[in-house]
Amino acid sequence: MKFTTSENVKAILNCHCNLCRKANGSAFSTYVVFLSSDFSLEKGTLKTVKISENASKSFCCDCATPIFNENPKYAGLKIVYLGALDKAQHLAPVVDTYCESQLQWITQMDNLKKMEQGFGE
């Protein structure tokens, strides 16, 4: 799987909605938003699944890595998963959305024990 995006990032955000949490198996999802015209699939095949009336999720057919979501409310945008981008370490969210659904412990993450690598080491 290979895709490219422009450097023209529209937004970087954390989404705490219940749909994202359940669809991605995580406490929240971090996305980088691009114009659809600024996203190009170079190699590989995507499978797109409609996960709600307002959302579809596209992922790599070979490894199942989620690549982007689309929402008709935000026509013309690709909502790309931060983890799918090679430059993820250089990008940081600037807003949390759907905070009414945010898990209460998220605000306490700075207080968690930190480990350099895997758990139990």
Q: Which backbone phi and psi does 7 adopt, to 5 degrees?
A: -85, 0
Q: How many whole angstroms separate alpha carbon 89 and alpha carbon 91?
A: 6
Indicate the SS3 state at residue 78: strand
Can you give the C-alpha Rg of the chain in angstroms? 15
Distance CA 5, CA 50 (A): 23
**Residues 68-104: pLDDT tens digits?**
999 999 999 999 999 999 999 999 999 999 999 999 9
For residue range 17-59, list pLDDT tens digits in order: 999 999 999 999 999 999 999 999 999 999 999 999 999 999 9
pTM for the model? 0.92
Q: What is the pLDDT of residues 94-114, one digit of tens each?
A: 999 999 999 999 999 999 988
Residues 93 and 106: beta-carbon distance below 8 Å = no
Within the chain, residue ranges assigned H as helices are: 18-24
Instruction: Give the CA dihedral 86, 87, 89, 91, nearest 10 degrees.
Output: -140
At 28 the pLDDT is: 97
